[in-house]
Structures are given as structure tokens and as C-alpha cells.
Amino acid sequence: QVQLVESGGGLVKPGGSLRLSCAASGFTFSDDYMSWIRQAPGKGLEWLSYISGSGTTIFYTDSLKGRFSISRDNTKNSLYLQMNSLRAEDTAVYYCARDRCSNGVCYHDYWGQGTLVTVSS
């Protein structure tokens, strides 16, 4: 069965960096787009970025302003999110999700359990 397990969250000071990982299993990882989505405490979901199966196509939401970088290692079935210049408003649970795409339409059919990132001094 499809499993996605995030790791790497924790407490970081404003201006600091963190690298999140998502270990995937149960499917052919290199076939699928993958996304990072976050949810601030008590707030709604916010999509951040996605990456194609080959890693050649990447999109980010505009609000990240180049501070975050998505990548993947298909040899390790892993997805990553490098987060730099972190701010208090980046405090959230970060989810990785598989993007199921068909006929030009995509949606997230499997999600990890999330990893909490807290940005505070």
C-alpha cells in the first residue's frame, strides 16, 4: 500500500533553515508528481510546491519568494523540501502528498501524516 512518511520537522529560530524529507513506498515513485502542502495552526491548507516524476518540472506558490526548494531522489524514493530564511509565519504542519494526474487534471490521492515545523526564538 502507498505510504508517505515525513521527517525533519522541529524547532528552528527565525532566519534558520530546515530540510524536510518524505519517504515513499508502495508505488513507483519516479512515475508520479509529488507536492508539499502546509497547514498553519488552526488554518486551512496551503499548497507550496510540486515536482514532476523526473524532477524536471517544478512549480512553487508565489508567496514562498524563492526561500523554499523542492527536490527528489528517485533512487531513494524520497522527496525533499529545503526551507531557508524561515519566519514565524512558516510555523505549520508540512505534508507531502502524491499527485495523481490524468488527462491534464491532478489531485492529491495520498498524504503523509505530516511533520511539524515551529519557527520561534
* Per-residue contact string for residues 9-48; x = within reach of other proteins by CB under 8 A: --------------------------x-x-----xxxxx-
Closest distance to other proteins from the beta carbon of 63 (Å): 9
Nearer to other proteins, 50 or 80 (CB): 50
- Candidates 50, 68, 80, 94; binder of other proteins (CB under 8 A) is 50
Determine, following the binding rule CB under 8 A, whether residue 73 of this chain makes contact with other proteins. Answer: no
Comparing CA positions, the residue from 70, 98, 96, 65 lying closest to residue 82 is 70
Contacts of 47-52 with C-beta under 8 Å, sequence gap 24+, read: 48/81, 48/94, 49/81, 50/99, 51/79
Residues that bind other proteins (CB under 8 A): 35, 37, 43-47, 50, 59, 61-62, 95, 100, 103-114
